[in-house]
Each structure stands twice: as structure tokens, then as C-alpha cells.
Amino acid sequence: MKFFIDTAEVAEIKTWADSGFLDGVTTNPSLIKSSGRDMLEVIAEICAVIDTPVSAEVAALDHPTMLKEAMVLKDIAPNVVVKLPTTLDGLKTCRHLANIGVRTNLTLCFSANQALLAAKAGATYISPFIGRMDDINLDGMNLIRDIRNIYSSFQFKTQILAASIRTVNHVSDAALAGADVATIPASILGKLVHHPLTDKGLEAFVNDWKSTGQTIL
């Protein structure tokens, strides 16, 4: 499974890019707002830091304006993926962009039918929002499983990008449910490696090794 980072903070992206685990970046208008940065500038800066896919979201709601915005975004750098809402206008824009070879990420997906439409429109990624479904007592992981089944049955190439990840369990559960990618906030990425038994076991090994008086180097 690929790991994307869900942030518009360049410092976080640099840190995780250096770890070697990062396969891409997703941003959205709320993350741009939190960064306090100009969107076009920050997307260009992110694309200079990392050459993997970087999702940048259109702001318009109508197809003609979305398309114009998409052209501006895709010209920022070759690794920009145009993020579009999963609406009829977004899907029309997706089909148009797919026809001219521009990669897309269909966002705010909450149903298998929306995912089916995105695949038919030639989307590169579909982003089911797990955490926001869990927030209202729906099962985000079931949605990923349903989309996986549909995409596998019909051999759609669209990649399932598990979004709105709120917990470490969301990451492993999304992998088990068949997601191709998880986009993860830095706070959750940082927690993935931790296990108290690893820390406890390592402490014992360090102490026992010291007491042997040996060295390797």
C-alpha cells in the first residue's frame, strides 16, 4: 500500500520525504487555509520537494470553471494530480482530463455508486472519506471493501485512496480492506511505528548487551 501525507505544511512533507516512506501528498482547501499560504505557491513548493503525486484541489463547482482551474493546477508541475469533487460537474471534468492524460483524484466520496462513476469517468484515484463516515456511525471500511469488490470485478484501474484517516487502526484496516493508498496526517504517520512491547523489549536487550561488555564495532 502506498502512503501519502495529508498536509499542506512543507516542513512536514520534507521530514517524511526524507524517511523514504512517502509516495505522495494530498491537500485540500481546508489544509491550504491552515497553512496560511498562497495555494499556487505552496503547491509549487511541495512539487519541488517531492516528485511523487501531489493532489491540488479545484475551487469551482461548475464544470467549465473547474476545467479552467484544472489547467492552471496541472501546469504547476508534472506531478500535480487535479483533485475534483465527486459531483456531476466534477465527473465531467474528470472525463475531460482523463481524455487528455491529466491525472485526477475524485474527493469527498461516500458511496460505492460515486466510486463506480469515478472509475467510469477515468479517475486516477477515488478518495472515500473514512473518518467522516465513522463520525456519523457509518462504516468507512465497508465502503472500501465494496469499492475494492466492484473495481476488481470490472477490472477498473482507478486506485482506492483511503482518506480522512483519523487513527492508526484506520491505516491497517484500510490495507486489509484493499485500499491501494492511504493519505495520512503527519500526527498519525508518527504513531504507526510505536508499540510498547517493542520499547520494553529493546530496553531489556540494551541492558543485557551492556552487561556482556561486548562491542560489535
Which chain residues interact with ligand E4P by CB under 6 A? 6, 26, 28, 107, 127, 129, 131-132, 163-164, 183
Question: Exposed, middle or buried by CB within 10 Å (0-12, 13-18, 19+), for 87?
Answer: middle
With a CB cutoff of 8 Å and minimum separation 6, the contacts of 156 are: 119, 120, 150
What is the C-alpha separation between 150 and 214, in angstroms, rounded?
57
Q: CB-wise, 61 or 202, nearer to ligand E4P?
A: 61
24-26 and 80-85 strand pairing: unpaired
Phi, psi of 86 (to 5 degrees): -85, 75
Shortest Å distance, C-beta 200 to ligand E4P: 32
Helix (H) or strand (E) holding 97: helix 88-99
- The yes-or-no answer on residue 83 being catalytic is yes
Measured CA distances, 32 to 28, 29, 128, 181 (Å):
6, 5, 20, 21
Q: CB-wise, 136 or 197, nearer to ligand E4P?
A: 136
What is the C-alpha separation between 46 and 152, in angstroms, rounded?
33
Q: CB-wise, 135 or 203, nearer to ligand E4P?
A: 135
Q: CB-wise, 6 or 173, nearer to ligand E4P?
A: 6
Q: CB-wise, 40 or 202, nearer to ligand E4P?
A: 40
Shortest Å distance, C-beta 131 to ligand E4P: 5
Give the angle 126-86-189 at the CA atoms, nearest 5°. Answer: 40
Shortest Å distance, C-beta 137 to ligand E4P: 15
Which residue in the list 2, 33, 68, 83 is annotated as catalytic?
Answer: 83
Shortest Å distance, C-beta 31 to ligand E4P: 6
Cβ atoms of 110 and 147 closer than 8 Å: no
Name the residues annotated as catalytic.
83
